Every structure is written in C-alpha cells, then in structure tokens.
Amino acid sequence: MKNITIICNWKLNGNKKLINIFLKKLINFFKTLDEHKKKYIKVIFSPPILYLDYSYKIINKNKEIYLCSQNVDINENGSFTGEISAKMLKDIGVSYVILGHSERRKYHNESDYDISEKFFSVKNNELTPILCIGENLNDYENLKTEKICISQINTIIKKYGIEIMFNSIIAYEPIWAIGTGNYASKEHINKVFNFIKNYLNSFCDNINNKIKFYYGGSISSYNSEDLINNNIIDGLLIGKSSLYIDEILNIINNYIK
C-alpha cells in the first residue's frame, strides 16, 4: 500500500460553520482509525485564505491534517495592498501553497513567469508548492498535452534550476477535467507523468524520490479508487467533492478498507 495525500481545495466556498463541521468530523475519523492504516493517509485542507487561521486552531496538533493556501503574493512584505505573503502563511502554520491553478491563470491572468516568482517565494519560506499544470480541451484534442505541461514547468527550471523543484508537488489538472465530470483515464495520466518524469530525469537522477505527482479533475468517491490504484500518482487534488466530508471519508475508506 502506498502513501496517499488528499488535497481539499475549497476554492471560493465555505464559511466558519461548514469548516468547523468538516474538520471536526475529519479529526474524529482519524481518531477511530488504527495506527497502521493512519500512516498511509494525509489530508491537506485548503479553505479560502481568510479561514486558514481559524482552521489552524481547530486542527491544533493533529498530525494527519495540514493546511494549504490557494494563493500567495510574489513579495514578502511592503506596499502591496490586499496581498498576503509566504512569510505570513508560514507564520500562521500553513505548510502548502497551490500555485498556477488554471482558475488563477484564467481569471487573474497569472503567467508562467508570475507563477515562477511565487514558486521561489514559497520555497524560500520553506513551504511546499503544489504546482498545477494542465492543458485545455483544444490542446488535448490536438495532442499538445505534454508540450503544454513541460512549458509550464520549464519557466521555473530555466530561472532557478532543477533543484528548486525538489520536495515540491506537481499536480496535473487538465482544464477539460475540472468541474466537468470528465476525468482523465489512467492511461492518459500515466503517459503524461511518464513523459514529465523522463524530461525531469534529464536534469537529475531519481526524480521519483524528489518530486510528488498528483492528479486533479472531477474526482469523487466513484472514481478515486480506480485513480489511486491504477496510477503512478501520489495524491489527489479535489475540488467540488471535497466540500462534502462524507465524500472525503468515503474516498479514504475505499482506499484503506
């Protein structure tokens, strides 16, 4: 059995009441799990940034649940009204930051260059970046998946070298699979990750031990088992289904049963 991490990306959803219910049920669930099974599962909770501090206080010293920000600024401090920095996220107990999500690329015009700067700031503050990559439907149909994915990673490597990628997470989230109910096949996911791994291995050895590879896009308790068991993925990045604690518990139970 391999270790699996489940990221719950709540996007712009939720409130204090829902977070309280979700996290308390999750904490109680982990309490009932035997020590042997517990070590295979980790949950990373990513509510809207405003609720990270509130969530931290509920999670307390729980070792199975970690906190993740959905965004960060390039700068660490200064006159940048409305922004939050990696340094501040670290200060309040956050461990991970999602970068380059297609929704931020689309609605906030984030470029690969912006994302590379954010990546640097996150690493510089000893947080773990979760770099989202993925192609749109048109590129998928025109067999450009690998080209797009590599170009999204390359901006970072060219600027900072391969070493900056070590101990980070690459999450493949095809845009055509996000919120559509159409998830990528295991053959497709494995093909994409093998291509990326071969590419990264041309810079250094043993990339498998240095970077984790996650998949995201229309994951639910109906397809999670198939995705985990038949793929080379280390984790799941879940949007809509992650708003429902019972779905998350089903996904975990299906895996460890």
Q: What span, in angstroms and rounded, lies between the C-alpha atoms of 71 and 89?
A: 10
Q: What span, in angstroms and rounded, lies between the C-alpha atoms of 127 and 182?
A: 32
Q: Which of 110, 117, 173, 247 is catalytic?
A: 173
CB 9 within 8 A of CB 45: no
* Spatial CA neighbour of 30 closest among 21, 13, 42: 42
Backbone angles phi, psi at 118, to 5 degrees: -65, -40
Query: Which residue number is nearest to ligand 13P in terms of Cβ?
Result: 239
Q: Which of 101, 103, 110, 247 is catalytic?
A: 101
Q: Which CB atom, from 13 or from 198, has the smaller least distance to ligand 13P?
A: 13
Residues binding ligand 13P (CB under 6 A)? 9, 101, 173, 178-179, 216-219, 237-241
Smallest gap from residue 70 Cβ to ligand 13P (A): 9
Is 173 among the residues known to form the active site?
yes
Q: What span, in angstroms and rounded, lies between the C-alpha atoms of 67 and 247?
A: 19
Q: Which CB atom, from 162 or from 238, has the smaller least distance to ligand 13P?
A: 238
Return the beta strands (E) in the chain as ranges.
4-9, 41-46, 65-69, 96-99, 128-133, 168-172, 211-216, 235-238
Q: Which CB atom, from 129 or from 217, has the smaller least distance to ligand 13P?
A: 217
Smallest gap from residue 244 Cβ to ligand 13P (A): 11
Both structure tokens of 173: 């989230």
Smallest gap from residue 82 Cβ to ligand 13P (A): 23
Q: Which CB atom, from 43 or from 162, has the smaller least distance to ligand 13P?
A: 43
Smallest gap from residue 11 Cβ to ligand 13P (A): 7
- Active site amino acids: 101, 173
